[in-house]
Amino acid sequence: MPDWFYPYPPLISGTLIQRYKRFFADIALDGETITAHCANTGPMTGICIPGNRVLLSHSDSKTRKLPYTWEAIEVNDLRPTWVGVNTALPNRLIKAALMAKLFPILGDYEQVQSEVPYGTDQKSRVDFLLTSQALPPLALPHFLFPPLPHPPST
């Protein structure tokens, strides 16, 4: 898979101090404490361990309240392992894969829309809606996707 598939931002290493109020994490970073956004609203039982190393991304966006996002944490089960905690990332990756047409079995769809409302009351959403002039619309929930192919070893 080409390295342009998903342009991940540079990651910054820090140490988890604490997570609180579901969306916030205090991180030790270069001798100071910063507050990072935590996109994962779940309990993160077994991985949210103060003192563990974390990876953060940084955004210069003026509209963000917090410039840092907590992306991953290192856990030490049988061996050190990085675990992704940014729950927004999987759908971004799948959308990039759909737009790059990495799932040829789905057909040659022209447009990929995400989080599309559907149903009689429009209160439900499908993860992705693929549309084309030549093919019928195809609604895709996230659990239908096979694992992405690994990039070739270099």
Convert 70-101 to b/e letters by CB count within 10 Å (16 or more is b). Answer: bbbbbbeeeeeeeeebbeebeeeebbbbbeee
HSE-CB at 54 with a 13 A cutoff on CA atoms is 30
Q: What is the pTM of this model?
A: 0.77
pLDDT at 8: 80
DSSP 46: T
Which is higher by pLDDT, 121 or 32? 32
Per-residue pLDDT band for 4 (boundaries 50, 70, 90) equals low
Assess contact for 56 and 12: CB atoms under 8 A.
yes
pLDDT at 147: 52
Across the beta sheet with 138-140, the strand order is 111-118, 124-131, 138-140
pLDDT at 143: 57
pLDDT at 154: 46
Measure Cα distances from 100 to 1, 67, 110, 111, 113 in Å: 11, 29, 11, 11, 14
Burial class of 27 by CB neighbour count within 10 A (0 to 12, 13 to 18, 19+): buried
pLDDT tens digits, 98-151:
998 988 998 899 999 999 998 888 888 889 999 999 999 999 875 555 555 555
Show me where the domains of the chain are located: 12-84, 89-144
Write the class of the CATH domain 12-84.
mainly beta
Number of H helices, E strands in the chain: 1, 9
pLDDT tens digits, 58-88:
999 999 999 999 999 999 988 999 999 999 8
Write the class of the CATH domain 89-144.
alpha beta
